[in-house]
Amino acid sequence: MKAVTSHKSLLLLLLALTFWIVFAVFQNSTKIWAVFTLPVSLNHWKYDMKPSCPEIPLNPSASPTKTELRVRKVLEKLEQQIPRRPVTRFSTTTSAAHSTATVLNPRRTYCVGDQLDVLLEARDHLGRRKKYGGDFLRARMSSPALKAGASGKVTDFNNGTYLVSFTLFWEGRVFLSVLLIHPSEGVSALWRARNKAYDRVIFTGHFVNSTSQVYTDCALALNSSVELCQYVDAQDQEAFYCVKPPHVPCAALTHMHSKNNNVSYLSKQERHLFERSNVGVEIMAKSNVISVSKCNTEKAIPKEKCKLGMVSTIPSGHVWKNIWNPVSCSLAPVKTKDCLRGKLIYLLGDSTIRQWIEYFKTTISTLRPVDLQETGKLQHQLFVDLDGELNIQWQKHSYPLIGSLVYSVKEIESIARIIDRTGGGENTIIVISVGQHFRPFPINVFIQRALNIHKAVQRLLMRSPDTVVIIKTENIREMYNDAERFSDFLGYTQYLVLKDIFQDLNVGIIDAWDITIAYGTNDVHPPQHVVENQINVFLNYIC
């Protein structure tokens, strides 16, 4: 009798346990199903028509993900380099005219290979010594007659003094320059304003409704009180939003364009700092010309050929007779077509890397375009050379993509997803360039994008370690063009982020930032001879 009772009790217990498990699974079925339906690589954008959060939200109250923690870590490191100096009066900000530059240990003649140091003392508009650093300076030496140039290294002592160091790479008459791009107070204002909002650029989405088009506002962040279309990369948790047009599905989004929004997060006093007369002002107006001779008779030590994984120095090289010469390695003459024979080349990113495919089009006469049925300046471009077994393509990066011209988003894809669906191999080369389109938005957007690309490159190199991956950093751009959105200070922070994030991978770095400073281009799209020299570094990496 006792045995029967025990058997019944055990049965009841098992039934209760089964009921509890079924209930628990039912309650969590949505989460479990979401895990099994995450896209692998090809389904890069998920359409969501609900006005709520993305299907897989970044819940602020939940524990931060590894990516979020890494974003915070990179941001904290960057924050340490940003001054916190509010503008009280314009007269107390750094003045180039009142600041002094003193050449240390001056000589009548210098020798090629010497280092020349300049001590800079920052002063305000009343002539008083500044007691803190943080000014955004650009140092450059040049010899226009020789078509020569190089950047200088700036060391900030955080007490109002700076050491500017020039390596004297060539002989002749050399002009020294130190520009005050922005005073520390301007840097502080730009940093605060940058991270305040996402609405400096207005995106307009084009939705096709049968034969007509409907236009709505789109952005990286939108008011969630209206019904939104959410274009979510579920793997990397990056999203872009559009106001949902009535009676039109979110999948009907076909094109996009943008324009600058008439907003500013700078005060009137702060905006005064970015007027043309206060940007890029020369500090070394006097005694800025030196004579350099080839007085060292020692033979130069041969440098090894440029290769992947080499650490970039400051300066990373110099221009002489319009040719770029790296400091840490040597560039050999390379025949472009022979070097690229049998290669599959992906150029991924913005219009500064699109300049590369335009260069290849003009220099390799046997390249033929493949019609991919796209239109507009930002269309995916593919060129093949059947004789040379060469395949070169350029593809734009995903949102944010700023442009007043209308561009197609039907096939828009993140760089990380493109890399994930790439097989790789010794004849596969991937060149990545991102940055310019991120300048008007909070820095965490760029940090997350860079980290997601880094993870994709890491996965690629694990499965195909002989794939060549090259990161091209940003070019400097026009100095007086809308500082709140496009200042080179904003680009410089991204340049630091990119170098920090990719330092642990065996990738090539083309330091376009330093190259374009050396050439003194101040143009987001530098002349062809500058692009050619960037490509020459690329060719030396792969051949």
Residues of the chain above pLDDT 70, percent:
88
Neighbour order of strands in the sheet with 94-103: 94-103, 115-124, 161-167, 153-156
At residue 321, does pLDDT exceed 90?
A: yes
Q: Which of the four pLDDT bands, split at 50, 70 and 90, describes residue 386?
A: confident
Q: Which of the four pLDDT bands, split at 50, 70 and 90, describes residue 64?
A: confident
At residue 11, does pLDDT exceed 70?
A: no
At residue 337, does pLDDT exceed 60?
A: yes
**What is the reported pLDDT for 7?**
46
Q: Residue 92 and residue 130: Cα distance in Å, rounded? A: 9
For 149-179, write each residue's pLDDT tens digit.
999 999 999 999 999 999 999 999 999 999 9
For 389-434, write each residue's pLDDT tens digit.
899 999 999 999 998 899 999 989 999 999 999 999 999 999 999 9
Judged by DSSP in three states, 250 sits in helix
Nearest in space to 503 (alpha carbons), one of 212, 249, 309:
309
At residue 366, does pLDDT exceed 80?
A: yes
Q: Residue 83 and residue 187: Cα distance in Å, rounded? A: 7
**What is the reported pLDDT for 63?**
62
**What is the reported pLDDT for 285?**
84
* Least confident among 10-14, 23-27, 269-273, 290-294: 23-27
Q: Residue 255 and residue 203: Cα distance in Å, rounded? A: 10
Average pLDDT over residues 200-224: 92
**What is the reported pLDDT for 62?**
52
Q: Residue 150 and residue 315: Cα distance in Å, rounded? A: 7
Average pLDDT, the chain: 88
Q: Is 483 exposed, middle or buried (0-12, 13-18, 19+ CB in 10 A)?
A: buried
At residue 57, does pLDDT exceed 60?
A: no
Average pLDDT over residues 142-147: 97
| C-beta separation of 229 from 246 below 8 A | no
pTM as predicted:
0.87
At residue 4, does pLDDT exceed 60?
A: no
